[in-house]
Structure 1
Amino acid sequence: MLLNISFKLMSLLGVYALSSAAIAHDANATYSDPAQSYRSEFVDVATLIPTALFDIRYFSGQNFVGKPIEGYNAPKCLLHKTAAAALVKAHSQAEQAGYNFKIYDCYRPQRAVDHFVRWVNDETDTKTKAAYYPNLGKDQLLGDYIAAKSGHSRGSTIDLTLTDSQGKALNMGSLFDMFDTISNTDDPRITQDQQANRYKLKNIMLAAGFSPYAMEWWHFTYQPQAYPNTYFDFVVQ
């Protein structure tokens, strides 16, 4: 009898140890294999919010690189299911106030971020400078504006704006992905109306659990992130 009890106790302890190890590993790992089961935790936001507008810039050439970005095989907004559920709530609040969402980017594969970094390091390619970084050199973009590891690759961050009921984007005082301090949420150069528009978006997102990024009025991250230490690399398709 004692032998059986000891054996059962050891088995339970073994299961507990394995579970604890799995949790610890999950908190610090980086997953890049698209075959991983983690991909199934991401949802296509258009299936949840079909009335939102989707202008996925990195699928097209309308972005600061000037061409489609690696890893975007479809113009989709993918988010981890927890962030997606919160976005549904935010969109409902926006609709009640008479607005809609126009979404620019969501989950971003690591290979897309690598594409950005290669572009930054190519000093000969400056064709988008006038539109996206008129007051900065490319050597000033890495860090605050373009990171070698992006929070978007974790699956809980989204770039978006508000539109009116006719689909016209509200005047936010700067373009999406404008690399300049004028894109800071509280930049003093924007008008009162432009600041009010930025705060309409900010307050809607805050109420749904998203944290803003002060340097980019369009950038929000749902908290808590499902994978705060993970940078995924499966393609958007």
Structure 2
Amino acid sequence: MVVGFVVATAIETAMAAPVAAAPPDPSAPVDFVSLGDVDPTILMEIRYATPHNFTGDPVVGYDAPMCLLTRPAADALRRAQQEFLADGYSLKVYDCYRPQRAVDEFVGWASDLADQRMKAEFYPRVDKSRLFEDGYIAEQSGHSRGSTVDLTLVELPAAATPPYVPGQPLVDCAAPASQRFGDNSIDMGTGYDCFDTLAHTLDPRVQGEQLKNRLLLKDGLERQGLQNYELEWWHFTFKPETYPETYFDFPVAPLPG
């Protein structure tokens, strides 16, 4: 009877013990802003909040389809947008601040060689086992510092982008614009997040209208202090960065206040 009493007491104590609450998400510094608040005319297609990305699933940490950036980076995009609007174009962003947890998920995905669901569109000529070695996936991303943005240009008035339906046939991201996913951007020679050397901004195979379009985007953004990453035509970082050494992990979600 004593043993039974001890066991029962232990069970009751365990049941009564409070369950440890999950630690709260870290919060954004006060100098991060929503780009939609700074300039609501800039179009958005936040790919990692959807399954239309190289993983095939919405990415952890993207709790809302929105763009968060440091204030100086957002202000630079606002200035660039005013110039592009005057010429009949609008910026469209694909990704902005990216939490470290999302980067960690990319690393885990790249290590899972069995998951090839999105290969036909995003990396048709790259063996998945080489994504780290070839520099397409890394354990840290400049996006997590808050001053880097992936974006393109759309001719106005903007045509609608057809919805992506998981499981639909995939088309090579380097195929002609008339064949690949019906993004409403001007033709940049590849789709967004194309793991291919053709996505290098000044790849010599890109000529004519496609090169003109890349330079239109590049020159307009660089006038406002956003520097292009030469291996991705869509990738720009505002310099000087507000947080050049800090990799944040707060979720992409509405900011407090």
What's the CA shift for 1:82?
1.1
- What's the C-alpha RMSD, in Å, of the aligned pairs? 1.3
**Which of 108, 124, 134 is matched with 1:118 structurally?**
108
How far apart are the structure 2 equivalents of 1:136 and 1:55? 25
**2:93 is paired with a residue of what secondary structure?**
strand
Letter in 1 for 2:209: D
Superposed structure 1 runs of 4+ greater than 6 Å apart? none
Task: Answer yes or no: is 1:136 the counterpart of 2:126.
Answer: yes
TM-score by length of 1: 0.83
Equivalent residue number for residue 165 of structure 1: 156
What's the CA shift for 1:33?
6.4
Equivalent residue number for residue 6 of structure 2: none
Greater C-alpha Rg: 2
Task: Answer yes or no: is 1:209 the counterpart of 2:225.
Answer: yes
Equivalent residue number for residue 93 of structure 1: 83
**1:101 is paired with a residue of what secondary structure?**
strand
| CA shift in 2, pair 1:68/1:33, >3 Å | closer
Letter in 1 for 2:35: V
**Which of 59, 63, 85 is matched with 1:69 structurally?**
59
What's the CA shift for 1:204?
0.6
Post-superposition Cα deviations, 1:150-189, rounded to whole Å, max 9, x if no partner, equal 0000000000000001223100000000000000011122
Letter in 2 for 1:229: E
Q: Unpaired runs of 5+ in structure 1?
A: 1-31
Contact between 2:25 and 2:251, CA under 8 Å: does it hold in 1? no
How far apart are the structure 1 equivalents of 2:157 and 2:115? 37
Query: In percent, how many aligned pairs have the same letter?
Result: 48
Equivalent residue number for residue 153 of structure 1: 144
User: Whose helix fraction is larger, Structure 1's or Structure 2's?
Assistant: 1
Q: Unpaired runs of 5+ in structure 2?
A: 1-23, 159-183
Equivalent residue number for residue 35 of structure 2: 45
**2:236 is paired with a residue of what secondary structure?**
strand
Equivalent residue number for residue 196 of structure 1: 212
Post-superposition Cα deviations, 1:198-227, rounded to whole Å, max 9, x if no partner, equal 000000110000110010000000000000
